């Protein structure tokens, strides 16, 4: 390509990408003013800027898609930095009942609806994972906005999220194997490798975290930022080469870091995570044709209503394990009801494989839009509803006025 044409294409790319970021920034300001999660607004922006929208940014552009993939890596890296291996092991033991209920209650509606819609067992496996996994990003945002971090039901909710993330470690490789049509032997090798890597990382984090942390220094935040971010990207790249989930690989890198090192890395990476994650959510909207949404809106709404109800039941079970009040149990259910980053990741894996029809991506976009919008709203309504429920007079009680 001549230098003049190359410069023109780069300038056009910068213009389009800059306008996309400005638009996302304005939407983030709007979401902050309304005290809601910006995720559904980012998805709408992607629909607006996509090929079927009004602006028409090329969704397959390598630059935008690479930035979106980096957003996934950062989302999962920061999620891993939130936990330690000790917490993971303790959580799996303490909340095993809530974790099992979570899988059964929330994966089943997705599996059943996929079979009804004719997407087969491949679609059932994918949609079951989408309805199962809650949005850790939206949960974290709501906890910060509503100042619920110290509430007694917050710890069980985080425990359920950790179990979901652990389930994703073998689930994503299994889904990839099914979508690519790999044989039984190669599939078992891939899944076995995934489980072995997870086990090795947890053992290293439990036994060798002190030695590992000697390589890093929280007193050099710039060096720490570059090493941690670079390690996550490199791990994601290696994972992709061996058919392991890049997202889970980034999560495992974050899991290796604890204490002050994790805190400094998290503080430095937070702003970058917000920027790249916004591009990631918008990119998912870019690859969805808005014209496909009306046909899937009704079943997506129906599934959203059912799975929000099952997440409330999951939250109730988790909160009751710490003897939480009715208000606390409703808060827990509201926190878990939103789907977001992992659901979009699963849909992205399906989109690349092209095994399922394009309506599947449109269906997931509509479903995530509904649940990601409803989750923060329900969180704000949980306390008034819970207070009314606890203060209501017992059935049959006659007041003096009556």
pLDDT at 116 over 90: yes
Neighbouring C-beta atoms of residue 357, cutoff 10 Å:
14
More confident residue, 263 or 170: 263
Neighbouring C-beta atoms of residue 26, cutoff 10 Å:
12
Residues 6+ apart with CB under 8 A from 124: 110, 111, 112, 114, 115
Give the three-class secondary structure for 402: coil
More confident residue, 123 or 289: 123
User: For residue 4, is it within any domain?
Assistant: no
Q: What digits encode the pLDDT tens for the residues 331-373?
A: 999 999 988 878 888 888 887 777 888 889 889 989 988 998 8
Task: Count the domains in the chain.
Answer: 1
First vs last Cα of the chain: how many Å apart? 86
CATH number at residue 259: 1.20.1530.20
Lowest mean pLDDT among 44-53, 210-219, 270-279: 210-219
pLDDT band at residue 397 using 50, 70 and 90 as cut-offs: very low
Report the half-sphere exposure of 233 (CA within 13 A, side-chain side).
12
What is the model's pTM?
A: 0.76
User: For residue 397, is it within any domain?
Assistant: no
User: For residue 394, is it within any domain?
Assistant: no
User: For residue 395, is it within any domain?
Assistant: no
User: For residue 185, is it within any domain?
Assistant: yes
Neighbouring C-beta atoms of residue 181, cutoff 10 Å:
10
pLDDT band at residue 398 using 50, 70 and 90 as cut-offs: very low
348 is written with which tokens? 């992205």
For 187-201, the DSSP string reads HHHHHHHHHHHHHHH
User: For residue 399, is it within any domain?
Assistant: no
- Give the relative orientation of helices 359-391 and 120-132 as an angle to the nearest 10 degrees: 40
User: How far apart (Å, rounded) are the C-alpha atoms in residues 54 and 23?
Assistant: 14
User: For residue 46, is it within any domain?
Assistant: yes
pLDDT at 402 over 70: no
Q: What digits encode the pLDDT tens for the residues 76-106?
A: 788 778 766 666 667 667 777 888 999 999 9
From residue 59, how far is each of 5, 295, 314, 401 by CA, in Å?
21, 22, 37, 66
Cα 57 off chain centre by: 24
Q: What digits encode the pLDDT tens for the residues 299-312?
A: 999 999 999 999 99
Per-residue pLDDT, 400: 35
Percent of the chain past pLDDT 90, that is, above it, reads: 16
**Stated length of the chain:** 402
Buried b (16+ CB within 10 A) or exposed e, 8-19: eeeeebeebbee
The stretch 170-177 carries a mean pLDDT of: 78
Which structural domain range is residue 331 located in?
A: 9-386
Q: What digits encode the pLDDT tens for the residues 175-217?
A: 877 877 655 556 566 666 666 666 666 666 556 555 555 667 6
User: For residue 281, is it within any domain?
Assistant: yes
Q: Which of 92, 50, 97, 38 is nearest to 292 (CA)?
A: 50
pLDDT at 36 over 80: no
């Amino acid at each position: 390509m001549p230098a003049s044409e190359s410069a023109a294409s780069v300038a056009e790319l910068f213009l389009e990408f800059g306008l996309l970021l400005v638009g996302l920034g304005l939407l983030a300001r709007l979401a902050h003013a309304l005290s809601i999660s910006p995720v559904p607004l980012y998805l709408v922006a992607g629909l607006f800027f996509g090929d079927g929208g009004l602006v028409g940014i090329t969704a397959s552009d390598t630059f935008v898609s690479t930035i979106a993939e980096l957003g996934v890596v950062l989302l999962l890296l920061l999620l891993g930095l939130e936990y330690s291996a000790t917490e993971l092991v303790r959580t799996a033991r303490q909340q095993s009942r809530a974790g099992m209920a979570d899988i059964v209650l929330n994966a089943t509606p997705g599996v059943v609806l996929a079979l009804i819609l004719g997407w087969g067992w491949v679609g059932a496996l994918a949609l079951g994972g989408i309805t199962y996994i809650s949005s850790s990003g939206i949960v974290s945002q709501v906890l910060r906005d509503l100042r619920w971090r110290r509430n007694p039901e917050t710890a069980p909710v985080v425990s359920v999220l950790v179990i979901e993330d652990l389930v994703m470690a073998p689930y994503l490789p299994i889904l990839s194997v099914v979508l690519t049509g790999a044989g039984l032997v190669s599939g078992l090798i891939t899944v076995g490798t995934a489980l072995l890597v997870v086990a090795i990382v947890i053992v290293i984090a439990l036994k060798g975290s002190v030695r590992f942390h000697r390589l890093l220094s929280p007193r050099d935040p710039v060096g720490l930022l570059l090493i941690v971010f670079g390690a996550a990207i490199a791990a994601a790249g290696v994972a992709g080469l061996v058919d392991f989930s890049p997202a889970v690989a980034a999560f495992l890198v974050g899991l290796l870091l604890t204490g002050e090192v994790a805190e400094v890395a998290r503080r430095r990476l937070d702003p970058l995570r917000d920027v790249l994650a916004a591009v990631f959510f918008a990119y998912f909207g870019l690859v969805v044709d808005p014209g496909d949404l009306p046909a899937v809106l009704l079943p997506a709404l129906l599934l959203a209503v059912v799975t929000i109800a099952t997440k409330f039941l999951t939250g109730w079970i988790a909160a009751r394990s710490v003897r939480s009040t009715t208000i606390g149990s409703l808060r827990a259910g509201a926190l878990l009801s939103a789907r977001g980053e992992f659901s979009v990741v699963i849909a992205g894996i399906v989109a690349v494989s092209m095994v399922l029809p394009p309506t599947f991506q449109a269906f997931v976009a509509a479903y995530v839009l509904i649940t990601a919008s409803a989750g923060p709203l329900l969180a704000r309504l949980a306390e008034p509803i819970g207070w009314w429920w606890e203060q209501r007079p017992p059935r049959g009680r006659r007041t003096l006025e009556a």
